[in-house]
Structure 1
Amino acid sequence: MEATQQTPHIVMVPTPGMGHLIPSIELAKKLILYNNISITYLISNDGSSLEPQKEALQALPKSINAIFLPPVSFDDLPEGTKIETRIVLTLIRSLPSLREAFKDLKERSNITAMVADLFATEAFEVAQEFGVLPFLFYTSAALDLSSMFYLPKLDETYSGEYIDLPEPLKLPGCIPFQARDLVDTLHDRQNEAYKWLLHAVKRYRMADGIILNSFTGLEPGACKALNEDWPGFPPVYPVGPLIRTISSREDEDGSECLKWLNQQPRGSVLFISFGSGGTLSHEQLLELAYGLEMSGQRFLWAVRSPHDLASSGAFFTVKSAENPFYFLPDGFIERTKDLGLVVSSWVPQIKILNHSSTGGFLTHCGWNSTLESVVHGIPLIAWPLFAEQRQNAVLLSEDLKVAVRVQANEKVVGREQIAGYVKGLIEGDEGKMLRKRMEDLKEAAAMAMEKDGSSTRLLAEIAQILSNNRTI
């Protein structure tokens, strides 16, 4: 343990999944720059491999440590239990071991605060038990956090399914959006996952503050409203964009992608990736391949094996070891070899987005990928699949106007439609307008993280609050 008894020590409590751990790590790396803070992660274990988490945490400075808690059992849960339910239960069932680890740390170090993930609000009771500040880290957009603030009232005032609401939702400072674009978990109020999410959201008020991975230059209206128009909720600190930096793995891997990009004209390549958890049906995968071929545009595609029952392969659901190339159209690789590169392994996304040849990104609109696109100024084709991605797509396409959204009115988006989106983004007039607006956001993101930028100032303020175990 690097910390002394006097060094302010912060405990970070993430929940399973790299999508939430990655921005949490970036937050930790920022916080240790202030006030000689040290940090320990308490990692709950759902029983799946923790190698990705261990790899990410082992590469951190010595003042950031991790304790991996014993795995919990899900033998009593029925098959098909929603991801959100399992995430929350992982933390709840880890509470005894988390409490013991916290107690041990408290005896050996000066713990001043706990920062818990948005699904880890049960851990607040441990923070209060040991007299330290409970903070929440919200890893998505201000628009998404606004909908969570509104959820308890919506639950009380509307008895039906939200997808049947006749009017758009109009939240303070946010663009109006249809209820069908709410996070997946809210589409079935009878499911246990809905009840667990509502339970977690009601506990947000227990936090002394909420750290938000967005920034005022990206969502000015929503960020302002979160602190002015939601009485009873804790103050919100937009400190983003917190995104991955280039890792040692990116220096070692991905050379094939980068060598290929080096040979392409500036701004000519569409990067296609649905993230580590996004999956398409086999039929949709075929249509995407044919659409890319029809477009005649250059592309770099990180392809995954299809799955016909789930759009989310993240966490606990889809585990396919099959070669995704097997599912592509016959002859596709050969026919497109002069235009495209298809890879089935991990790709260095940050380096790809930062490459001068990359002119667009077809994305599932996960918030990490969204912020990475903003930081690097890459316009988007928004193809949301699950979680809060439809809300992100609304923000990107209708509010910020840096993306064209795929209109999936039918079960499968056709190849002609896909070809139109791709061609329009890379060489069309609409693509030029999207690119210009994204360049403006890129500049705003850089300003937020400058020495006197809005996010930097708030990070310094949060570090002081967490170090002193008191609100300012």
Structure 2
Amino acid sequence: MGSIDNQTTPKPHVAFLSSPGMGHITPLFELAIRLVTQHDFQVSFLVITTAFTPAQSEYLNANPHPDLHIVDLPPVDMSGLVSDDMELGTRLSLIVQESIRPFRSILSELKGPKLRALVIDIFCTGVFEICNELAIPVYSFFTASGVLFTLSLYLPSMDREVEGDQYVETVKVPGCNPIRIQDLQEPVWNRNSDDYKWYLFHCRRLFMATGIFINTWEDLEPVSLKAVKHEPFFLNIPTPPVHPIGPLVKQIEPAVMVKYEKEMIAWLDKQPKDSVLYVSFGSGGTLTREQLTELAWGLELSRQRFIMVVRKPSDYAAATFFNVGSESDDPRTYLPDGFIERTKGVGLVVSSWAPQVAVLNHPSTGAFLSHCGWNSTLESLKHGVPMIGWPMYAEQRMNATMLSNEVGVAVKMHVVGDKGETVVARREEIKRVVQMVMEGEEGKKMRSRAKELEASSRTTLSRGGTSYETLARVAESWKLG
């Protein structure tokens, strides 16, 4: 018998475009990997190189695959257009806007057969017209929670109905749980801000997508997903088909670890099961000096084991969003005097970055003090780890409230005041909450609920599970198309 040449029919080709930032790149890249490894696609992953960070580059190039091609878009000069004090969403939107100017020629030069689809995130809606002219279906991948997704679909209607500069009442998205004003991120709350105008622009264009992927699943967010499917409001506006395919999170980092990462895992190996609190504020999160001091004292007073990822304090909460992985400093210069020495053996302080998935996957890790960014949230739940919610910016306040009030896997630190202002959590309160989660009955209940969601996340992503089959159906339609 002659051998069958598999190359006679080229694999179907899909492209991805993500805005800068690990929170956007990670889920899109994990979806790309799934299409390549589970559904036999070839993928061109287009990378906006302006505002690109070392951490992003390391992640995208860690596990090369012959059917997954990284394509760099030419860098653009943003010097006259963005400034360091510019709001995050505005800055991202402008970087994407400038980077996609040559998009038509970039798409036409891609190697491989004609594209079956392009998958983008919320900040890349500027490509719809170009792709429409080229007859390439565009799918949006909404990388945040279902709570923010339903709010984003509702926002254009809400904007038309409300007068004044700010939203001042509880927001009632049809079919969903009410959202307190103090839990809204400022871009949605303050209608005068550039961030609000940009976000509204992108939300209005969500309806231009052929379909929308969302990084969640039924067991985690039943209320939001039910509303999108059955609530008359969402059925009456032209909502594209919604495909829940989560939780798509970063896989365990490559086995090749640098020395300090190996030391961290070796330290965890020596600790009892569920005994270590992992403290990290994501790729962009930064505390003020006052708050960092209170956190350090709270951890020390709690007498619980911990790993704390720290970076130089700043008054701007998202200070490292655009340079994550490039900073390195000596924590002794901004932690309380003697803190590292006094907590030696009980705690481990790490500067700026840790192999988060490996830490959350470790049996010694018992809880995660987290900013509640959606990627970190999903990573925590996928490994059965409950959370102490410490929201900082973007939609993290909404996530923290949902995780504590609805899902039952988190307790919220009091870091947001009644008017939405950031307040300083004091050491005694931090000590109390940490002890409650690590040793108390409430912590046990949260851990048990997190373990249930861990099992559920495995099921939904396995063959026959809802997230797996949802993606398989879309992939099949692309193959036929």
Fold shared by both chains (TM-score > 0.5): yes
The 1:185–1:284 alpha-carbon spacing in structure 2 relative to 1, beyond 3 Å, is same
Distance 1:249 1:314 in 2: 26
Aligned to 2:321, which of 311, 314, 321?
314
CA drift of 1:311 comes to 4.2
Q: Distance in 2 between matches of 1:105 and 1:326?
A: 49
1:246 paired residue among 228, 245, 252: 252
Partners of 1:43 and 1:63 in 2: CA distance: 16
- After TM superposition, the structure 1 = structure 2 runs for residues 101-116 of structure 1, keeping only pairs within 5 Å, are 101-105=106-110, 108-116=112-120
Report the CA distance between 1:437 and its aligned residue: 1.3
Counterpart in the other structure of 2:263:
256
Q: Which residue of 2 aligns with 1:90?
A: 95
The equivalent of 2:430 in structure 1 is 418
> Residue 366 and residue 459 in structure 1: after superposition, are their counterparts in 2 closer, same or farther (change >3 A)?
same
How far residue 201 of structure 1 moved from its aligned partner, in angstroms, is 0.7
Query: Which residue in the other structure is 2:394 paired with?
Result: 387
Please show how residues 127-142 of structure 1 align to structure 2 within 5 Å: 127-142=131-146
Of 220, 224, 229, 2:222 maps to 220
In structure 2, relative to structure 1, the CA distance for the partners of 1:195 and 1:319 (3 Å cut) is farther
SS at match of 2:463: coil
- Inter-CA distance 313–428: structure 2 relative to 1 (3 Å threshold): same
* 1:377 alignment partner in structure 2: 384
Using the alignment, how far apart are the partners of 2:175 and 2:110 within structure 1? Answer: 41
Q: Comparing 380-389 with 312-321, which one deviates more in the overlay?
A: 312-321
Deviations 1:56-105 (A, max 9, x none): 33323111102111112222236322121121122211223221110122
Structure 1 residue aligned with 2:371, among 364, 372, 382? 364
Q: What SS does the aligned partner of 1:457 have?
A: helix
Aligned counterpart for 1:63 among listed residues 64, 67, 71: 67
Q: Provide the C-alpha distance between the structure 2 equivalents of 1:57 and 1:357, rounded to a whole number of angstroms.
A: 29
Residue 362 of structure 2 corresponds to 355
Q: Is the 8 A contact 2:328 2:352 kept in 1?
A: no
Residue type at the aligned position of 1:466: W
Distance in 1 between residues matched to 2:291 and 2:325, nearest whole Å: 17
Per the alignment, residue 413 of structure 2 pairs with 406
Q: CA deviation at 1:256?
A: 1.2
Partner of 2:76: 72
Task: Give CA-to-partner distance per residue, 1:302-322, whole Å, 9 cap, x none.
Answer: 111110233442126998654
Inter-partner Cα distance in structure 2 for 1:123 and 1:146: 23
Is contact 1:43–1:67 with CA below 8 Å preserved after alignment?
A: yes
2:165–2:190 Cα contact (<8 Å) kept: yes
What SS does the aligned partner of 1:445 have?
Answer: helix
- Give the AA of the match of 2:267: W
- Residues 101-250 of structure 1 mapped to structure 2, 5 A cutoff: 101-105=106-110, 108-165=112-169, 168-229=170-231, 230-231=234-235, 232-248=238-254
- 2: CA distance between counterparts of 1:140 and 1:309? 22
User: Aligned match of 2:345 in 329, 333, 338?
Assistant: 338
TM-aligned CA distance change 1:338 to 1:317, over 3 Å: closer
Q: Distance in 1 between matches of 2:218 and 2:7?
A: 34
Is residue 278 from structure 1 mapped to residue 290 from structure 2 by the alignment? no
Distance of aligned partners of 1:318 and 1:281 in 2 relative to their CA distance in 1, 3 Å threshold: farther
Shift of the alpha carbon at 1:208?
0.7
The amino acid of 2:426's aligned partner reads: G
Question: In 1, Cα distance between the equivalents of 2:190 and 2:341?
Answer: 44
Contact 2:125 2:205 in 1 (8 A): yes
Matches of 1:363 and 1:350, distance apart in 2? 13
Q: Which of the residues 269, 278, 302 maps onto 1:295?
A: 302
User: Does structure 2 conserve the Cα–Cα contact (< 8 Å) formed by 1:353 and 1:376?
Assistant: yes
Q: Does 1:467 align with 2:442?
A: no
Could you tell me whether the CA contact under 8 Å between 1:275 and 1:364 is conserved in 2?
yes
Query: Match for 1:197: what amino acid?
Result: Y
TM-aligned CA deviation for residue 35 of structure 1: 5.0
Check conservation: 2:384, 2:454, Cα contact below 8 A. yes
Q: Assess, with a 3 A threshold, how the Cα gap between structure 1 residues 277 and 416 changes in structure 2: closer, same or farther.
A: same
Q: Is the 8 A contact 2:207 2:239 kept in 1?
A: yes
* Distance in 1, Cα, partners of 2:147 & 2:311: 29
Partners of 1:3 and 1:9 within 8 A in 2: no
Alignment of 1:28-43 (within 5 A): 28-33=32-37, 35-43=39-47
2:164 aligned partner, one-letter code: G
Specify every segment of 5 or more residues in structure 1 that has no aligned partner in the other structure, as ranges: none
After TM superposition, give the deviation of residue 154 of structure 1 in Å.
Answer: 1.2
The 1:273/1:155 distance shift into structure 2, 3 A limit, reads: same
For residues 160-190 of structure 1, give each alpha carbon's deviation from its aligned partner in whole angstroms, at most 9, with x where no partner exists. Answer: 344522xx22324433220221233223222
1: CA distance between counterparts of 2:171 and 2:255? 42
Structure 1 residue identity aligned to 2:91: R
1:463–1:49 CA distance, 2 compared to 1 (3 A): same
Secondary structure at 1:32's aligned position in 2?
Answer: helix
Moved more, 355-364 or 319-328: 319-328
* C-alpha contact (below 8 Å) 1:136/1:204 kept by paired residues: yes
SS, match of residue 346 in structure 1: coil
| Whole-angstrom CA distance in 1 between matches of 2:56 and 2:325 | 19
2:16 is matched with: 12
Looking at structure 2, the residues matched to 4 and 69 of structure 1 have their Cα atoms a distance apart, in angstroms, of: 30
Q: 1:3 to 1:347 in 2, by over 3 A?
A: farther
- Percent identical residues: 39
1:465 maps to a residue whose letter is: S
- The answer (yes or no) to whether the contact 1:116–1:134 under 8 Å persists in 2 is yes
Q: Which amino acid aligns with 1:450?
A: S
Which of the numbers 450, 456, 464 marks the counterpart of 2:462? 450
Contact 1:45 1:90 in 2 (8 A): no
**Contact residue 83 and residue 315 of structure 1 kept, 8 A:** no
Shift of 1:457: 0.4
CA distance in 2, matches of 1:425, 1:215: 25
Q: Contact (CA 8 Å) 1:366, 1:389: kept in 2 or not?
A: yes
Look up the match of 2:3.
Answer: none
